[in-house]
Homo-oligomer: A and B are copies of this chain.
Amino acid sequence: MTEIIKGNVIHTTRLGELTCFEGGWLVSVDGVIAYVGQTLPEEYVGLPVTDYGDMLVLQSFADMHLHGAQYPMLATGLDLPLMDWLTAYAFPTESRMADNDYARMVYRKLVRELLDNGTTRVAMFASLHDEATLILMEEMEAAGLTGYVGKVNMDRNNHVLLQETTEESKASTLRWLEGCRKFKNVKPILTPRFTPSCTDELMAWLGETARERDLYVHSHLSENDKEMELVAQLHPDCSQYWETYDKFGLWKDHTIMAHCVHSDARERKAMRDHNVLAVHCPDSNNNICSGVAPVRILLEEGNWVALGSDISGGAHLPMLEVMAIAVSTSKTRCMMTGDRPLNAAEAYYLATTAGHCYFGDQPGFAPGNPLHAVVVDDSSIGVPGDHLPLAERLERLFYRAKSEHIKAVYSAGRKVKGE
């Protein structure tokens, strides 16, 4: 089936560069992009067109780090540093996912809210419960949200309400992986919670499982001072945090590491050397007083960086809002260190292309990519007749657009919002 979309198309193929087609075209065939540009190619002329008029047609958003099981506490309890916050809020909230009915209710709402806000690809932590993790993946598959989900592994230093033994963690992981076979657009990823939560035995087993089953890995890195001290105590043989993953085979191509707030030059180089994705979670980092990540430095050194909402350390689920916060905290960083702030085009790249590439896409709306797009009607925002350039209309969305302005969302070629 050929889908021909007309509108003001904005995509980004390089960091900081926007390509805009005012009254442009985006064509997909069987859910795969076939053309993007200013003029409709001859071969499609005369076919039915979905004309979005003066609306903006954007790449959809990829949220590359979030905790689905923390959705019930979103935007509450934002008054503690990381380690205390985990004990007081995050762990008890996640423990409720032992109840499958509760999990389904929560995850169904989360998936709907993600899609309504234009997020179509995710790299998400669930909880340690394998059944609830499969329920999340079922809800994603049914609604059309795509990406990677992990059953969390955590067999030490945990909460009375949220524990698994090493053996339970392994068995639960195997049950979960078995259950994942039925999914088409949702895939498993191994998610050791973070080094302090996993014994060496479990880490080694996960590394081996990743290798045997060709699975990617997703965890946390150098988020917070206290956490880093704890990691150093637990692994006196490792001079840096990343080595605690590396020594168990978890530091490898496409490993996702959230935060990297305090990663120094050596750790950043280790990321580049292994094609590790650093996920910048600016809202969460500020909320739990972890720091302001060196995004400009990571980018200038050539690291691969994408954005994450990191709910519910982050209090904002819509990636448009996360982009605003990324720009904003980059200005804070500028005031602290002089690092050049992110501009709107750069934030858009981090929330779209940088994340979509994780899934094998070429940059921007490249032919061959599955269609992931968002259509935004900004006609009610701002002052009538103001005729802003498309780049400024895009910037304005970060601060002003709500889900009600998002009129259509396409995920892997499927229309998941809109008529």
Contact = CB atoms under 8 A, between A and B. Distances in A.
Contact of A331 (B109, B289, B327, B399): B289
A332 B286 contact: yes
Nearest to A402: B402
B334 A382 contact: no
27 contacts: A71-B383, A72-B382, A72-B383, A72-B386, A74-B396, A74-B399, A75-B395, A75-B398, A76-B388, A76-B395, A78-B327, A78-B344, A78-B395, A79-B343, A79-B344, A105-B383, A109-B383, A283-B328, A286-B331, A289-B331, A289-B334, A292-B332, A292-B335, A316-B399, A336-B336, A402-B402, A404-B404
A302 interface: no
Interface string A401-417: 01010000000000000
A210 B113 CA distance: 52
B392 A76 contact: yes
A328 B109 contact: no
Interface of A: 71-72, 74-79, 105-106, 109, 283, 286-287, 289, 291-292, 315-316, 324, 327-329, 331-332, 334-336, 341, 343-344, 382-384, 386, 388, 392, 395-396, 398-400, 402, 404
A401 to B, nearest CB: 9
B399 A75 contact: yes
Nearest to A329: B332
B74 A382 contact: yes
Contacts of A75: 395-396, 398-400
A350 to B, nearest CB: 16
Given A292-B335, A335-B291, A383-B71, A328 B286 contact: yes
- A331, A334, A384 — which one has the most chain B CB atoms within 10 A of its CB? A331
A383 B324 contact: no
Contacts of A289: 331, 334-335, 341
Contacts of A402: 402, 404
Contacts of A316: 399
A400 B332 contact: no
A328 B109 CA distance: 26
